[in-house]
Amino acid sequence: MAKKIYVGNMSYDTTENALRELFAAHGEVVSVSVVTDRDTGRPRGFAFVEMASDAAANAAISALDGQSVDGRTLKVNEARPPAPRGGGDRPYGGRGGRGMDRGGRGGGDRRRDRGDDW
């Protein structure tokens, strides 16, 4: 079964091909994904590598965690599932606050909402 690995503290110059070659020395690489900024398209300094087997992933983690690549010391470990982003039963994405009225404006005066004197 494939196992996903988190690779952090990467140089912005490290490419997907470079990561693929680095990890391939420890087993079959299924996929490599360097995470980029949505607005600028520039790398964000971390990536995910999916290895074909648990054994290959564990070997890569042991060998590469703490190694220097492109002048940066990599942080390599098993990827964790993403944290829940909220939402659920709450309106407007569950972000709290006073919500929005139909005109797309936030509601009320903050001082009045807290009950403070004007």
Decide if 65 contacts 75 (C-beta within 8 A). yes
Decide if 79 contacts 24 (C-beta within 8 A). no
φ, ψ of residue 61 to 5 degrees: the values are -60, -50
Q: What does pLDDT average to over the chain? A: 84
* pLDDT on residue 1: 79
Q: Cα–Cα distance between 84 and 19 in angstroms, integer? A: 28
Domains of the chain, first to last: 3-78 (3.30.70.330)
Reported as a single tens digit per residue, the pLDDT across 6-21 is 999 999 999 999 999 9
* Confidence (pTM): 0.70
Using DSSP's 3-state secondary structure scheme, residue 56 falls into helix
Reported as a single tens digit per residue, the pLDDT across 60-95 is 999 999 999 999 999 999 999 888 877 666 555 555
